[in-house]
Amino acid sequence: MDKLLILIIMSLFMTACSLKPSNTDDPSGGVKLENGTFFSISNLHEAGILDETDLINIAYHNNNGIVFDQNGDQLEYIPETIKPLGSLDDETLNLIKGDFYILLMQDQYFKDDPIDISDIQISVYCGTYKGYIALRFIDNKNLTSLEGEEIVDNFKLIYPYKGGNTVILWKQN
């Protein structure tokens, strides 16, 4: 039953990301919205946009300073490639939240129980890579009390309990 809930949560996110594919020539697809386009980590990696160094940094920042391999084993060293994070300016943050709100409102859960854009918070900012901003949201969607995970290439990203949100990347249109 626990695994079924995790699969449902992950499929909700993937369904949302596949609702309106981008009309650009970008091979990584994405969901094009008013201000920018959301992408999954795996699509950007498979398209060759995110490299291993980018994945290590995203995993490190998402996992609170720990890097796990695909088997869930903690790497014994911290790679020298870890980049310190800057900060997002308020204008960019508001553009991203506005687009995420539009994305959420495509989900039946939020159509039935709407939230306000002020309820959307950034859980983790994982950095900016080649113009793509990696982050994870808190959206007050409480589906489960289970942790989730995602494996991209050789790295595991761990996700906390609330909402089932994964790290996604946003790039301004």
Collapsing DSSP states into helix, strand and coil, what is residue 116?
coil
**Residue 146's domain spans which residues?**
2-172
For the stretch 108-132, pLDDT in tens is 877 787 788 888 888 899 999 999 9
Its pTM stands at: 0.79
pLDDT at 93 over 80: yes
* Structural domains in the chain (count): 1
- pLDDT band at 139; cut points 50, 70, 90: low
Alpha-carbon torsion angle 59, 64, 69, 72, nearest 10 = -130
* CB distance 112 to 96 below 8 Å: no
Instruction: State residue 141's pLDDT score.
Output: 63
- Across the beta sheet with 155-159, what order do the strands follow? 68-69, 155-159, 148-152
